[in-house]
C-alpha cells in the first residue's frame, strides 16, 4: 500500500468553501432503521399474503366438526349428513378452532400498553429525565416479557396439554403439521414471537445502559430506534391478531 501520506486533518472545514452537502436532515441510523422495517414489512407481507391466498384457495369441504382437516370423505353427505363443513376454522367455534380469543385479546392489550410505556420512556429522556426513562423501560420490558410468557403458555396448551376434538386435529393435539390452519398459525405467530423476543432482548440492553446513565437528553438515539422497532412489532401483532384470530 503506497499511501505514505500522513493521516489527513479533519476535513470538516472544507464545507465552508464548497457547495453544501446534499444529505437529508436525519441520521443514518434512522434511515437504516426505516429501511430495515421496510424489509420486515415485506417479510410479513409474504407470510400474511400466503395466509390470505391459502385461506381463499382452501376448498369449502376442508374442515368439519366431525372429521379431521382434509380427511373428509367424498360422500360426506351420505355418511354424515349432519356434519358441518367449513373452508376454514371459524373464530369461537370449538369444533374446529382451538384458539382462545379472550386470552389473546388480553395479551394484545398488554402489548399495546407496552407501546405506550415505550412512548413514555422516549418522552422522559427527551426531557432529560433519566429516572423515568429507566422506570418506563422497565415497564416495557415487563409487558413484553408478559406477552411472550402468555404466548409460550398458549403454545404449550395447544401443542401438548389439551386434547382437541377431531375437527381440530387428527392427533388430538394442535401442532404445525395437523392442518393448514395450524401451519399458518404457528408460522405467523411464531415469527412474530421471535421478533418480540428480539425486541425484549434489545430493551433489556437499553435498560442496563440506562441504569448506567448512558442516555442523556441529547444522546439517546438508541432509545428512539429500538422504540421504532418495538412499535412496528406491536403494529404487526395487531394485524396478525385480526387476521389469524378474529376473522
49-108 residues in contact with another protein (CB under 8 A) are 50, 53-54, 57-59, 62, 68-71
By CB atoms closer than 10 A (0-12, 13-18, 19+), residue 70 is: middle
How many Å apart are CA 82 and CA 127, to the nearest integer?
65
Confirm if 230 and 115 have CB atoms less than 8 A apart.
yes
Which is nearer to another protein, 56 or 102 (by Cβ)? 56
User: Binding residue for another protein (CB under 8 A) from 5, 75, 81, 102?
Assistant: 5
Mask of contacts with another protein, 196-235, x by CB under 8 A?
------------------x---xxxxx-xx----------
Binding residues among 10-49 for another protein as defined by CB under 8 A: 10-25, 27-29, 31-32, 35-36, 38-47
Which is nearer to another protein, 67 or 245 (by Cβ)? 67
Which is nearer to another protein, 21 or 78 (by Cβ)? 21
Contacts of 128 (CB under 8 A, 6+ apart): 216, 217
- Is residue 70 classed as helix, strand or coil in its secondary structure? coil
By CB atoms closer than 10 A (0-12, 13-18, 19+), residue 196 is: buried
Which is nearer to another protein, 8 or 81 (by Cβ)? 8
How many Å apart are CA 121 and CA 137, to the nearest integer?
6
Q: Which stretch binds another protein (CB under 8 A): 91-99, 146-154, 171-179, 230-238?
A: 171-179
Which is nearer to another protein, 107 or 169 (by Cβ)? 169
Helix axes 221-240, 180-211, angle to 10 degrees: 160
How many Å apart are CA 195 and CA 90, to the nearest integer?
27
How many Å apart are CA 193 and CA 225, to the nearest integer?
20
Shortest distance, position 208 Cβ to another protein, whole Å: 13
Shortest distance, position 58 Cβ to another protein, whole Å: 6
Which is nearer to another protein, 107 or 225 (by Cβ)? 225
User: Binding residue for another protein (CB under 8 A) from 97, 108, 151, 179?
Assistant: 179
How many Å apart are CA 45 and CA 164, to the nearest integer?
30
Shortest distance, position 43 Cβ to another protein, whole Å: 4
User: Binding residue for another protein (CB under 8 A) from 118, 178, 196, 240?
Assistant: 178
Amino acid at each position: 500500500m503506497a499511501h505514505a501520506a500522513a493521516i489527513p486533518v479533519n476535513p470538516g472545514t472544507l464545507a465552508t468553501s464548497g457547495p453544501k452537502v446534499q444529505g437529508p436532515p436525519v441520521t443514518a441510523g434512522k434511515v437504516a432503521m426505516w429501511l430495515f422495517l421496510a424489509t420486515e414489512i415485506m417479510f410479513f407481507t409474504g407470510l400474511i399474503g400466503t395466509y390470505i391466498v391459502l385461506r381463499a384457495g382452501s376448498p369449502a369441504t376442508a374442515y368439519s366438526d366431525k372429521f379431521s382437516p382434509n380427511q373428509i370423505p367424498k360422500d360426506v353427505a351420505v355418511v354424515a349428513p349432519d356434519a358441518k363443513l367449513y373452508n376454514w376454522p371459524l373464530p369461537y367455534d370449538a369444533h374446529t378452532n382451538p384458539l382462545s380469543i379472550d386470552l389473546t385479546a388480553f395479551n394484545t392489550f398488554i402489548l399495546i400498553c407496552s407501546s405506550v410505556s415505550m412512548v413514555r420512556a422516549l418522552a422522559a429522556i427527551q426531557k432529560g429525565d433519566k429516572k423515568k426513562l429507566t422506570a418506563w423501560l422497565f415497564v416495557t420490558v415487563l409487558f413484553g416479557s408478559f406477552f411472550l410468557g402468555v404466548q409460550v403458555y398458549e403454545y404449550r396448551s395447544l401443542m401438548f396439554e389439551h386434547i382437541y376434538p377431531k375437527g381440530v386435529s387428527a392427533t388430538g393435539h394442535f401442532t404445525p403439521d395437523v392442518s393448514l390452519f395450524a401451519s399458518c398459525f404457528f408460522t405467523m405467530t411464531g415469527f412474530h414471537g421471535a421478533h418480540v423476543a428480539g425486541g425484549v432482548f434489545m430493551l433489556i440492553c437499553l435498560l442496563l445502559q440506562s441504569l448506567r446513565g448512558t442516555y442523556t437528553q441529547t444522546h439517546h438515539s438508541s432509545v428512539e430506534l429500538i422504540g421504532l422497532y418495538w412499535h412496528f412489532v406491536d403494529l404487526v401483532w395487531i394485524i396478525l391478531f385480526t387476521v389469524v384470530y378474529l376473522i
